Amino acid sequence: MISRALLASALASCALLACTPLRFVDAVSENQSSRIGHLVIHFTSGDFAESLRVLTERTERPVSSHYLVPENGDPTYPRRRLRVYRLVGDDQRAWHAGQSHWRGDTALNSSSIGIEIVNRSSCVAKAPSNEPSVPEVRCEFLDYDPEQIELVIELVLDILRRHPGIDPEDIVAHSDIAPDRRLDPGPKFPWRRLYEHGIGAWYDEDTAQRYRERFEAEPPALALLQRGLAAYGYDVDDTGEHDVRTQYALRAFQMHFRPSDWSGQADAETAAIVFALLEKYRPRSLEALLETSL
């Protein structure tokens, strides 16, 4: 049996060790990067108070985001001036992306920062979801508050200073990464304005015009357009058919880059923008794409 003296000595040693923090030698490796590689923009479809409640309280289906940006004119917002609400630290995983896909990454909750913007836009389905085409939706997309957008720009620029590894084309809409489930932040979100402030991706008009003239004369094969969408980041297979998955991806892409018409139909204008973006942001993917299409 262990003697009382030996037991007391062991306990004393354990207590002493517990009070002494483990010391490390820091030898910082150059072979590392931030785990944050994406930024996802959402709208709330509800007012500030309800959005804050849903994003912060535990429920049966918990959701959250890293930041919440209110809007002017919301009677449920308690402050005189708009302020960004931080709900989850950047180093923590918020539950905002759900089942999603972008550039082959399906764990976007773990690699992204989510921004929810208070905006009461909403959509309802008008056709059964079991039809062999994208269900028709009736949407009311509301304009964004200009002051709110300025605050979003300020927030995103601050995030990019802290996470410079986020590429422009990885600043995306929720609808980009989950086109079969989500339509936010919708066609009224000013992506081009953000681009003019150094945020996100946008195509060069001269390049798009060059492809536009080419595709108006000879439209690209649908399979080629599908491969182009996939090369940019969307979850699309090159079936050569205008299937539901392709229609969802086209609709999301059009909301982001051609918001005047987001029907989900393939056309020369959409193809021109896809290839202009690839030429600007994914030149190697474009080169490989064109080689395989010859």
Write out the DSSP string of the chain: ---HHHHHHHHHHHHHHHHSPPP------SS---S--EEEEEE-SS-HHHHHHHHHS--SS----SEEE--TT-TT---SS--PEE-S-TTS--S-S-S--BTTB--HHHHEEEEEE----EEEE-S-TTSSSPPPEEEEPPPPPHHHHHHHHHHHHHHHHH-TT--GGGEEEHHHH-TTT--TT-TTS-HHHHHHTT-S----HHHHHHHHHHHHHSPPPHHHHHHHHHHHT------SS--HHHHHHHHHHHHHH-TT--S----HHHHHHHHHHHHHH-HHHHHHHHHHH-
Give the pLDDT confidence score for residue 128 in this predicted structure.
Answer: 56
CATH match for 205-293 among 3.90.1720.10, 3.40.50.1970, 1.10.101.10, 2.60.40.1120: 1.10.101.10
116 is catalytic: yes
pTM: 0.88
For residue 27, pLDDT beyond 70: yes
Domain ranges in the chain are 38-196, 205-293
| Dist. CA 256–CA 284, nearest whole Å | 23
pLDDT band at 172 (very low <50, low <70, confident <90, very high): very high
Query: In this structure, what token pair is assigned to residue 291?
Result: 């080689």
Q: Which residue has the tokens 């930024």?
A: 39
Q: How big is the chain, counted in residues?
A: 294
For residue 190, pLDDT beyond 70: yes
CB 58 within 8 A of CB 191: no
Give the pLDDT confidence score for residue 28 in this predicted structure.
Answer: 84
For residue 12, pLDDT beyond 60: no
Interval 260-294: pLDDT, tens? 999 999 999 999 999 999 999 999 999 998 887 75
Out of 30, 60, 71, 116, the active site residue is 116
Architecture of domain 38-196: 3-Layer(aba) Sandwich (3.40)
Give the pLDDT confidence score for residue 60 in this predicted structure.
Answer: 84
For residue 122, pLDDT beyond 80: yes
pLDDT band at 3 (very low <50, low <70, confident <90, very high): low
Give the whole-number percent of the chain exceeding pLDDT 90.
Answer: 79
For residue 38, pLDDT beyond 70: yes
| Dist. CA 220–CA 31, nearest whole Å | 42
For residue 212, pLDDT beyond 60: yes
Give the pLDDT confidence score for residue 133 in this predicted structure.
Answer: 63
pLDDT band at 258 (very low <50, low <70, confident <90, very high): very high
| Dist. CA 66–CA 87, nearest whole Å | 5
For residue 18, pLDDT beyond 60: no
